Amino acid sequence: MVASPELISPRSSRVSAARRLAKRNFRGKERLFLAEGPQAVREAAAYGDTAATLVELFATVEAAERYADIVGEARSAGARVHLADEDVIADISTTVTPQGLVGVCRFLDTPFDDILAAKPRLVAVLAHVRDPGNAGTVLRCADAAGADAVVLTDASVDLYNPKCVRASVGSLFHLPVAVGVPVERAVQGLKDAGVRILAADGSGEDDLDDELDNGTMGTPSAWVFGNEAWGLPEETRALADAVVRVPIHGRAESLNLATAAAVCLYASARAQRAAGGCRSVTPS
């Protein structure tokens, strides 16, 4: 007869500590956050060259068997693995339908000065972005477009909000992210580093298609994206080298933040990879 695996007690101090990380003040105090689901846990286990980022993993027996490779990677990364019943996972998790794996990770944000020192060519700056789902999705878009970094200003959502972490779908672990940077410092620092500042705004004076046709987008660029409801304030727009709108060719009233960010970041990525920018060519 095979013995049943030993499960961590619901009353364990480790379970209580993990549960508290759903709250921002505890995350900040402990400098730890939750990463839920196989994709996030796998990326957390693989992240970091010196200190391990994934410090603990809670897994149901079923999930541990299904994702044995991820559990193995977690152990190899030095994480403590706790088998738990579904009620414990549900208690720790912040999702309605947990996937059986919840990791506890160390904060991994990057100092803004380190981002500048790396001479970035494509950066997304989130100014006053308050919705964690939007912030995480923009981070994912920046990662997919090959951006070098993301900057969250001091008035933006907490990077480690569980919804933000989930919406990034692992991209949080792929590129440097600076947090708590005043928008004026972010813009000036990037300008001093030779980065052109583009403010994304639906009422911008410049059209994204024209920017591409004119061949002006092949240089290092930082896109500044504003709040979901009110966009960018005038004082932030005034800091930019250009205020750019995404053209609406159909009848849609506007684009949401994450969609507009994807369009803008991919436009810059395409221009930077094309010799001489993305200039239009008229057949003779």
Residue 5 has a pLDDT of 75
- Per the prediction, the chain carries an average pLDDT of 91
The arithmetic mean of pLDDT across residues 267-281, rounded, is: 72
In the block, residue with structure tokens 């070098």: 148
Q: What is the pLDDT of residue 277?
A: 46
pLDDT in tens, 158-179: 999 999 999 999 999 999 999 9
DSSP-H helix ranges across the chain = 13-20, 24-30, 38-46, 61-66, 68-76, 86-92, 112-117, 132-144, 162-168, 183-192, 208-213, 234-237, 257-273
* pLDDT at residue 184 is higher than 70: yes
Handedness of CA 228, 230, 231, 235 (dihedral sign): negative
pLDDT of residue 173: 95
Residue 51 has pLDDT above 80, yes or no: no
Count CB atoms within 10 A of the CB of residue 16: 12
Please report the pLDDT score of residue 96 as a whole number. 86
Helices 68-76 and 38-46: crossing angle in degrees, nearest 10, is: 30
Burial of 94 from C-beta contacts in 10 A (0-12 / 13-18 / 19+)? middle
The CATH classification number of 112-273 equals 3.40.1280.10
Q: Supply the pLDDT for residue 53.
A: 93
The reported pLDDT for the residue numbered 174 is: 95
Answer yes or no: are the C-beta atoms of 239 and 197 closer than 8 Å.
yes
Question: Hey, which CATH number is domain 13-106, 1.20.1740.10, 3.40.50.150, 3.30.70.20, 3.30.1330.30?
Answer: 3.30.1330.30
- Phi, psi values for residue 104, rounded to 5°: -105, 125
Instruction: Give me the torsion for CA of 233, 239, 244, 245, rounded to 10°.
Output: 0
- For the chain, give every domain's residue range: 13-106, 112-273
What pLDDT, in 10s, does the model give residues 82-117? Answer: 999 999 999 999 888 899 999 999 999 999 999 999
Cα–Cα nearest to 240, from 191, 194, 198: 198
